[in-house]
Every structure is written in structure tokens, then in C-alpha cells.
């Protein structure tokens, strides 16, 4: 167990939140595994899960990004989380340098009947990656969207 998180298993939610707030450098493999496990436990406190997703997005080593990305995609398809947990997942995905499958997920969310804040977070992922050709294709599909069409058109003109 890593030194930073060695008390994690016996820590309360508040203590875990404090541990997360102290992280300011790259996560090692064990830390990544521990935080991924906690982030995906739907019975865990939502605030703790949100903070885990944030730390995973911000401090993941390149070698762990594919694992985190896969976990987000699988968890998204299997669980129905609270909106703020979903937003944190999308923000973590945005921080991981979006791949084609992330863009596809974001587009499907924007086009879904998810809560508008979740859809906005998905659109933000697209906006952050607007220089990618796949995002341009996604924005083309959103031209007539009642909520995001105007923004999509504006982004298409900028890139």
C-alpha cells in the first residue's frame, strides 16, 4: 500500500476526503487501483466518489490512463449514478486526453435524455477536444440539436 493512502481501508469518509485533498502528484498503480475501486462503489458516499474521479483524472500516470478510461466506460454502461458523479466521470475522461471511444460516448450522452448538466459536461468534453477530426464529425451531428446546436455551429466555424 502506498504511503499516502496506507490508512485508506480503515479511514472514515471524511478522513478519506482529507487524504484525497493532499494528493498533488502522480498516482502509483496501487493508488490508482484503490481510487478506481472506491469511485465505482455505488454504495460509497457520492462526494467521496466524485473526489476520487477528480484525482484519477488529474493525477493519473500515462500508463494507467487506458485502465481508467476503460473503467469509466464500463461503469457508465453498467450503473446509473447520480448526476454529479456522472459529471465527475466525464471531467476525469476529459483530463485523460480523449480518445475516439470517449468522443462517441460524449456524443451519445449529448444526444440522450440525460439531465442537462450531464449533457453539458459531455458537450464540454467535445469542446475541449474540438481540434480532433472525430469531434468535428460529432459537432456536425449536433447542428440541429435544440440545446447544443448553436454552440456546435459556432465551434465548427472556429476550427
Domain borders along the chain are 1-88, 98-159
Provide the pLDDT for residue 2: 77
Q: 76: exposed, middle or buried (C-beta count within 10 Å: 0-12, 13-18, 19+)?
A: middle
> For position 1, what pLDDT does the model report?
59
* pTM as predicted: 0.93
pLDDT in the model for residue 80 = 86
Alpha-carbon distances of 90 from 7, 21, 157, rounded to whole Å = 28, 20, 25
Cβ contact 148:138 at 8 Å: no
CA distances from 17 to 49, 79, 152 (A): 9, 23, 37
**Intervals of the chain under pLDDT 70:** 1
For residue 36, the Cα-to-chain-centroid distance in whole angstroms is: 12
C-alpha cell of 155? 465551434
**Taking the mean position of all CA atoms in its chain, how far away is CA 105?**
11
pLDDT at 102: 96
The pLDDT of residue 34 is 96
Amino acid at each position: 500500500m502506498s504511503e499516502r493512502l496506507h490508512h485508506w481501508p480503515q479511514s472514515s469518509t471524511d478522513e478519506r476526503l482529507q487524504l484525497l485533498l493532499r494528493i498533488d502528484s502522480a498516482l502509483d498503480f496501487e493508488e490508482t487501483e484503490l481510487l478506481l475501486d472506491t469511485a465505482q462503489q455505488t454504495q460509497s458516499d457520492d462526494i467521496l466518489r466524485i473526489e476520487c474521479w477528480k484525482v484519477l483524472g488529474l493525477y493519473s500516470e500515462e500508463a494507467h490512463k487506458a485502465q481508467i478510461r476503460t473503467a469509466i466506460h464500463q461503469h457508465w454502461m453498467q450503473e446509473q449514478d447520480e448526476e454529479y458523479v456522472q459529471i465527475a466521470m466525464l471531467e476525469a475522461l476529459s483530463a485523460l486526453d480523449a480518445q475516439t471511444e470517449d468522443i462517441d460516448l460524449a456524443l451519445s450522452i449529448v444526444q440522450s435524455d440525460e439531465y442537462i448538466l450531464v449533457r453539458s459536461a459531455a458537450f464540454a468534453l467535445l469542446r475541449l477536444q474540438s481540434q480532433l477530426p472525430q469531434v468535428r464529425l460529432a459537432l456536425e451531428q449536433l447542428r440541429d440539436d435544440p440545446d447544443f446546436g448553436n454552440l456546435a455551429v459556432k465551434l465548427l466555424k472556429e476550427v
